[in-house]
Amino acid sequence: MLRSRPIHYTSRPEEWSAVLHALGLVTTVNEGSWREFDAGSGRLALGAVDHGHPLDGSTVFAVEAGNLEEFARRTEEAGTQAELHEGPDGTTVQISADDGFEFFAFPAERATDGTWATSGDAHPAVTVMATWISPLVGLAANALSNIGARPRASDDESATFTTKNGGILRVIHGADAINGDLAFEYDGGLEPLLDRLRSAKIESRISEDVLYFANPDAAGGAAPASIVVESSPRSTPAPQPS
């Protein structure tokens, strides 16, 4: 069982929690400086840091797996390095891709109904998207296949995968193998989501079928001004013949 769960670090956890709730995510863990949220598809962790911390305003690409030992074994068998780590906070798996990028798989917990699904209280149309930037998109995509992600779309500049909980793992081309920005996807017209954000007093706008909302981290100069919500491919209207 594979689930997407990027980690966003911020010195403004309260502001971010308000934004995520407006988007339709629900809090599932709230333990001081660490919070977790379920979307309709995918999950997101929020780690609180001090203003000026090197991670402030950044998102770390990460996943969850139901059985980490089995996950590591299958990933290794598929051809991607996966190493179990025992630390003070428990067991994790470090995945090392051939482009030099490294990320972690964390232990997943079942929902209250005993399944691996996200919370039924989360807005079903909202999806969390974790992004990995790589100069070698093909190698990065191969690593995602090897950890059990399901291919959805690809071209020379990007590759998109889905996970068991519907969350999205995306690779896009860039000069270095690094973590990308946090983003979301929405299955349906973006106007209702825009209305919810504006009702929560969150500055937002739609431009060319993409919704942009004010990034809470931008107030301290730690991050880009906006976070992106893209329309799901299946909800984007097909071009009309001229």
Q: Which of 89-93, 156-160, 203-207 has the lowest mean pLDDT?
A: 89-93
The neighbouring-strand residues paired with 7 are: 45, 60
The residue count of the chain comes to 242
Which token pair is 173? 């081309």
Confidence of residue 131 (pLDDT cuts 50, 70, 90): very high
**178, pLDDT greater than 60:** yes
**183, pLDDT greater than 70:** yes
Report the share of the chain in percent with pLDDT over 70.
95
Residue whose C-alpha is closest to residue 93's, from 102, 81, 84, 101: 84
**28, pLDDT greater than 70:** yes
For the chain, give the mean pLDDT: 92
Which token pair is 74? 């299958």
Quick one: DSSP state of residue 115?
S
Residue whose C-alpha is closest to residue 148's, from 165, 134, 136: 165
Contact between 118 and 39 under an 8 Å Cβ cutoff? The reply is yes
pLDDT in tens, 207-238: 999 999 999 999 766 678 999 999 988 644 43
> Rounded CA gap, 54 and 60, in Å?
12
Residue whose C-alpha is closest to residue 152's, from 138, 166, 136: 166
H-type alpha helices, the chain = 13-23, 68-78, 137-146, 191-199
H-type alpha helices, 50-183 = 68-78, 137-146
Distance of CA 167 to the CA centre of its chain: 7
> Rounded CA gap, 14 and 10, in Å?
10
Report the share of the chain in percent with pLDDT over 90.
82
Q: Which of 22-26, 49-53, 85-89, 91-95 has the lowest mean pLDDT?
A: 85-89
**3-class state of residue 74 by DSSP:** helix
SS (H, E, C) 218-241: HHHCCCCCEEEEEECHHHCCCCCC
> DSSP string of 165-190?
TS-EEEEEE-SS-EE---EEEESS-S
